[in-house]
Structure formats: structure tokens, C-alpha cells
Amino acid sequence: MTPLELIADREGERLDQFLARRVPGLTRSAAQRLAEEGAVLCGGSAVKKNRRTAPGEVYTVALPDPEPIEAKAQEIPLDVVYEDSDVIVVNKPVGMVVHPAAGHPDGTLVNALLYHCGNSLSGINGKLRPGIVHRIDRDTSGLIIAAKNDPAHLSLAGQLEDHSLYREYHAVAVGNFREDSGTVDAPLARHPADRKKMAVHPEGKRAVTHWEVLGRYPGYTYLKCRLETGRTHQIRVHLASLGHPLLGDVVYGGKKPVKGLAGQCLHAKKLSFLHPRTGERITVECPLPDWFEAVLRRLGG
């Protein structure tokens, strides 16, 4: 069992909610089971699963050791932008799935990372998602960070939670924006009719996207988008909710891809985080891929 210390930061929060929020990959039901098994302590004593937290309380959680990793290592080329003993940042190509799932048992970023990093990947997210802190869609290119050990994983997950992990995307949206910049603050949840899609929904989780116009073309706008939160399909759904879906994103109403574009025109261009070990601010960027540059040239005539 791996002990983990967490400091409560909210008044009256349910214990299972607190643990699920602070421990990556831990569900509320799993948190309840840990409490029932006596694996959650406060002040040296086991606590009940229905306990309410108070700011400053220190909880010790005995997490079960991660299951053996079942995803297999595959020799797949990686465009490594930054790497040290704690983290690795990769420029993911369009078409690569992040981790194995139904329909994609191999050929994923995880398979490539297992070959590149060997056993040096965090185990918090289980046997099929080792090292994975956040995800980007299969048809989105660009920067994604993975953790090489559990302390690094927890640090990066905390930065996602408190918004200190900076993520910047470049995109081409359909239509012309009247303003030069703006913010979409609209909650997202699973689409009520199609569970593979997301939708703006009043009972969803808060989602915030900041956008800025970088270029204007006949019928299209080139944007920089900064994620304050990181919900599934966030940029795609938020821009579609404005009436400006991404070029090529037919799932959310975008026009069919132009020549050379497979999927939505979206690239994770810049990433900035506090190093889990040193606390130093690390900022990495990658250029627009050739296909994205070609799209901009084509739109500009």
C-alpha cells in the first residue's frame, strides 16, 4: 500500500468527493471502499465514508499498489519536446490515440511511452493509462505531458486542478468573430442523446475557455485558445456553442475538412508547468504542423 497525505481545503465537503477530487484516477465509489476498509485516517484514526472535511485537516490515505501494466511496449517514434527523470512532454501527431481502449488496443501514445520510458511511468492511473495526466483527442495534434513517477503525477494533477498548468491551443474556426478576444464560461456534460459527445449543460462541470483572434480569412478565423479548465472536447464544444465550430469538426457542426486536414483543425501549441521536483516554471512550445500551415495558406488564397 502506498500512503498519501492530503490537506483538506474546503469546509463540509464529503470525504469521497474530496478524495476523488484530489487523487487522480480515484472514483468516489473507490474512495468510499477505502474508507470502509479503514484505509483513510485523520489524526491517526480511521474515518467514516460520510465524514465532512474541515480546512487544514490532514488525511492519510493508503492507496493500493498499482496493478501490473498490461498495455504492451511498442517501438513507435515519438517527437519528444522535453524530458527528465520526472516528466516527459511529447508532440503528439494527428491520428494517434492517447491510451488503449475499445477499438484501439495498441498503437497508442501509451504503447510508445512504455517502449521509450520502460518502467519509468507513474502507476496512479492504472494498467492501461500509465503516466497519463491529461489527454488530447485522437485528431488533435500537439503537446501532452506524462509523469514518470507517482509524486510527479500528483503534482501535475494538482496543477490541472488549480489551473497553474498552462495549455494553449491554436485553431481554425468556421465564420468570422466580431470581437478580437473573449471568454466562454459554460458548463459541460455528456450529451443527453449521444453519450460519445459533450454538450453545454447547466448541470455540467464548469468549463472556461479564453480565445483571441490571431488572423482573419474569408469565412474563417484563426484563433489562440487558452484552457482554464480541461473538460473533454472543451474547445470544440465551446466554439461550436458560439456558432463557430472548428474547421473539419463534423461531430460538432464544422464543415468537412479541407484538403490535407483529417479531423478538426486544432493543435496544442504551448504548455507551461511547475516542475514537480524543483518548482521551476517549465515552458515548452512546438511549431504548427505542416498540415496546419498548409490549411492557413489555402485559406489565405
Strands 2-7 and 198-200: unpaired
AA identity, residue 1: M
AA identity, residue 251: V
One of 16, 137, 139, 249 is an active-site residue; which one? 137
194 tagged catalytic: no
Give ∠ CA 43-46-48 in degrees, rounded to 5. 115
Cβ atoms of residues 2 and 63 within 8 Å: yes
Strand order in the sheet with 2-7: 2-7, 58-63, 40-42, 45-46
Distance, CA of 284 to CA of 143 (rounded, Å)? 8
Q: What is the dihedral of CA 163, 268, 135, 100, to 10 degrees?
A: -170
Output the CA–CA distances (angstroms, integers) from residue 168 to 8, 182, 228, in the order listed. 30, 15, 10
Strand partners, 224: 170, 212
List residues with catalytic annotation. 137
